[in-house]
Structure 1
Amino acid sequence: MQITDAEKWILSFYKQRGWTKYGPFIRTGFLMEEVGEVARAVRAYEIGRDRPDEVEQPKEKLKQELIEEMGDVIGNITLLADIYGVSLEEVIASHKEKLTKRFAEDLG
């Protein structure tokens, strides 16, 4: 799936459920929650949780959970971008330009 197709799907899916009604402050809170879940998934995948109340999961299941949590982050980034009238392509292009300029000497 291309980034613009993913963006359209995310916006449509979230809108159908009423999830686009939240403003930027609430959306940012959701984003931070999801980033925390990515951190938890990375820890579980890399070093485990080491908790007696949790059963260790196979690596494949842990990787799938990580992928799902990263998707939740992308969903929230997409909605924030939409609030400000910015496409994901613009975000990525700007990011690329910023880093290319910043590290121009390193790129040869």
Structure 2
Amino acid sequence: MDMNEAQQWIKQFYGERGWTEYGPFIRMGFLMEETGETARAVRAYEIGRDRPDEEVQSRERLKQDLVEEIGDVLGNISLLADLYDISLEEAFAAHQQKLLKRFGS
């Protein structure tokens, strides 16, 4: 699935559930929440959680958690971009050009 297809799928899936009705400030809150969950997943994968009240997870399960959390971040980024009529491809192209201009190839 390319970035535009993914962005359209996210918009439709979230829209069917009423989740696209949130404005940019609420969406940013969701993005920050998911970013924190991604940070927690990275920590668990890299150094563990070291908590006696949590079951030890396998490396495969830890990686799957990380994949899912990164997906949640991407979903929120996609919806935020959509609020401003920005495609993910457009955002990535601008990012790429900025870096190439700044640092060269």
Higher helix share: 2
Aligned twin of 2:41:
41
**How much identity, in percent, do the aligned residues show?**
67
For residue 20 of structure 1, give the secondary structure of its aligned residue in structure 2.
Answer: helix
Give runs of ≥4 in structure 1 deviating > 4 Å: none
Residue by residue over 1:49-76, the C-alpha shift from the partner in whole angstroms, topping out at 9 and shown as x without a partner, is 0001011100000100000000000000
Instruction: Tell me the TM-score normalised to structure 1 length.
Output: 0.95
Count of aligned positions: 105
Counterpart AA for 1:83: L
Aligned twin of 2:97:
97
Q: How far apart are the structure 2 equivalents of 1:63 and 1:23?
A: 31
Gap runs ≥5 in structure 2: none
Q: How far apart are the structure 1 equivalents of 2:86 and 2:70?
A: 20
* Coordinate RMSD, CA, aligned: 0.6
Where relative contact order (Cα < 8 A, 6+ residues apart) is larger, the structure is 2
Aligned twin of 2:66:
66
